[in-house]
Amino acid sequence: QVTLVESGGGSVQSGGSLRLSCAASGSTYSSYCMGWFRQAPGKEREGVAFINSDGRTTYADSVKGRFTISQDKANNMVYLQMMSLKPEDTAMYYCASGGYYSREVPDFPYWGQGTQVTVSS
């Protein structure tokens, strides 16, 4: 069983930065992959960034070069550093654990409650 709690969301202007944090507990570090997803109103939840237990990372094309996912295993934390934010990045951001077979929502059984990110023009 894995418990995930996100924090760090907020409101910023276009071009600004935020760092999201995910505090993990339970068996989270036995997970194959940790990921950040986001969901905007009227849209399906989409994968943003993923990090394997060996440190390998994967990013959605829309955030490559702007977002960075990282882990602090000693403190059971996962981070998403977001730079050059755009209004289209506005969404609820979720931390998730799983992803052994794919990087899609159905293969992530454990989820946090989400943290809101709002980017204004």
Strand ranges for 8-112 from DSSP E = 10-13, 18-26, 33-39, 46-52, 57-59, 67-72, 77-82, 91-98, 110-111
Query: If you search the block for the tokens 């969301």, which residue do you land on?
Result: 9
Q: Which two tokens stand for residue 31?
A: 């997970």
pLDDT at 28 over 60: no
pLDDT band at 101, cuts 50/70/90? confident
76 — pLDDT class (breaks 50, 70, 90): confident
Q: In Å, how far are 36, 51, 98 from 108, measured between CA atoms?
A: 11, 13, 4
Structure tokens at 97: 């654990």
